[in-house]
Amino acid sequence: MPTREPATAAALILVVDDEPQIRKFLDISLRAQGYRVQTADSGQAGLTAAAEISPDLVILDLGLPDIDGGELLRELRQWSATPVIVLTVRASETEKVRLLDAGANDYVTKPFGIQELMARIRALLRTRGDSGAPPRFDDGRLQVDLARREVRLDGKPVALARKEYALLALLIQHAGRVVTQPQLLRELWGPTHTEDTHYLRVLVGKLRQKLGDDAADPRYIATESGVGLRFIGANPGEMAR
């Protein structure tokens, strides 16, 4: 296995995939964006590399020859909080929810577009690089200050109900990531309400209305059908700490 490159400011990404052409494609594409890259061709090699080099992010294929990607993810999560993007051909909603609940930060379905993957990498690395202070979002139209619990739209205060604010805060804290329906329901209503998806639909509708967000063409809150919600408003320079 190649040794880790000399330390630089660039993020180090570990790619775990048994297909040589995918590893080569991602290696070239990621290096072209300025990232450092380490690759592994099996689950065990991936776990070893993750322990040795402490990557900033892991791209994980599920279809590995020695360990199922889901099992590897669960093992990794026992000792590492490194962001993980899963590459999967298993596109069912149930599978996506299972992966996210098992500890994946995001997923991309094969075949995937490289620009979409790069955008998701950037979103996760921004979250990874943040300090422990509550984030503040400001795109010139919507301002959300979680430290002060203030929400403004076009400079005017927005009156949010307690659960509306809790939902917005939760999504902003996980900006760029899919937050699953069961996770949202657990956080907002408790563990006995993980099947009550209609609660969430009503709440999201009210929040979107107050933010002037269109479900058909969202600016802030995107729905991953059958999976969960993603805050998509955060671009470089918009999230501050």
Query: Final residue of a domain: which of 105, 129, 153?
Result: 129
189 and 205 both lie in a single domain: yes
Residue 6 above 80 pLDDT?
no
Residue with tokens 């995001």: 106
16 and 125 both lie in a single domain: yes
43 and 150 both lie in a single domain: no
Q: Is residue 98 part of a domain?
A: yes
- Contact call for residues 196 and 203 (beta carbons, < 8 A): no
Which range of residues forms the domain containing residue 110?
12-129
Query: Final residue of a domain: which of 108, 129, 150?
Result: 129
Helix (H, G, I), strand (E, B) or coil at 54: coil
Q: Is residue 4 part of a domain?
A: no
Tokens at 174, concatenated: 């996980």
18 and 125 both lie in a single domain: yes
pLDDT score for 155: 92
Query: Final residue of a domain: which of 78, 112, 129?
Result: 129
116 and 68 both lie in a single domain: yes
Q: Is residue 161 part of a domain?
A: yes
Residue 126 above 60 pLDDT?
yes
152 and 229 both lie in a single domain: yes
For the chain, what is the domain count? 2
Residue with tokens 């020859």: 65
180 and 108 both lie in a single domain: no
pLDDT score for 129: 55
pLDDT score for 93: 79
Q: What are the tens digits of pLDDT across the range 177-226?
A: 888 888 888 888 877 887 888 999 999 999 999 999 999 999 999 998 88
Q: Is residue 172 part of a domain?
A: yes
Q: Is residue 99 part of a domain?
A: yes
pTM for the model = 0.61
pLDDT score for 234: 60
Largest CA distance in the chain: 56
Banded pLDDT at 130 (limits 50, 70, 90): low
Query: Which residue from 206, 172, 166 is spatially nearest to 186, judged by alpha carbons?
Result: 166
Beta bridge partners of 84: 58
Q: Classify residue 8 by its DSSP letter.
A: -
Beta bridge partners of 37: 13
User: Strand 221-224 to strand 228-231: parallel, antiparallel, or no bridges (unpaired)?
Assistant: antiparallel
Q: Compute how many other C-beta atoms are within 10 angstroms of the C-beta atom of residue 15.
A: 26
28 and 43 both lie in a single domain: yes
Mean pLDDT of the chain: 84
Question: Which residues 6+ apart lie within 8 Å of 216 measured at CB?
Answer: none
5-14, 38-47, 106-115, 171-180: which is most confident? 38-47
Tokens at 176, concatenated: 């760029």
User: Strand 156-157 to strand 150-153: parallel, antiparallel, or no bridges (unpaired)?
Assistant: antiparallel
Q: What b-and-e string marks burial along 37-70, b requiring 16 or more CB atoms within 10 Å of the CB?
A: bbbbbbbebbbebbeebebbbbbbbbebeebebb
